[in-house]
Amino acid sequence: NLSFLDNFDRDQAISYISDPHRLIVIPSLTENLPGTVYESIEFGANFIAADVGGIKEMIHPDDVDRCLFKPLPLILASKLHEKIVETHKDIKPVRHSETPTSIRSDIIAFHKQIHQQSSQNLFRRRKSNPKITVCMTHYNRPKGLLTTLKEWKKQTYSN
């Protein structure tokens, strides 16, 4: 029996998925849903996700085996069975690999490092203009491509 619940506002949706008796299944073969994994962790949702891309890096190492599976049908079926027989008391929320505080301090340290490096290089002059490579992808937009190429040709940068 399949039904679509499309009349929830944000808070109702979060409340719905945060119920530990529900299971969010994220079986993507490519890492196109890291936001869904992040929000599932953030809101304490019970979930399983395919172990693809950088998803594993988002999850605390001690929690990886409980919520990730190799994206193969039998392994997914096994993980689903594992979750179905799990009792309410066995359900533990999955944790982020890093705390918001550690992420914040890493970002601040990174920006300080960039600032320090740019201050040191501020008075160095380049002897020549560096070469610049531009790579543009397009699909079925010949007019847009032609316009872009014409605009690039107007540039005055010499190298």
The answer to whether position 21 is within a domain reads yes
Residue range(s) defining the domain that contains residue 38: 10-90
- pLDDT tens digit sequence for 89-140: 778 889 989 877 888 888 899 989 888 877 666 666 666 777 777 777 777 8
Amino acid identity for residue 73 in this structure: P
Q: Which regions of the chain does DSSP assign to beta strands (E)? A: 24-26, 47-50, 68-69
Rounded to two decimals, what is the model's pTM? 0.62
The answer to whether position 114 is within a domain reads no
The answer to whether position 153 is within a domain reads no
What total number of domains does the chain contain?
Answer: 1
d(CA 47, CA 69): 11
The answer to whether position 44 is within a domain reads yes
The answer to whether position 138 is within a domain reads no
Q: Are 44 and 91 in contact (CB under 8 A)?
A: no
* Sign, Cα dihedral of 72, 84, 42, 106: negative
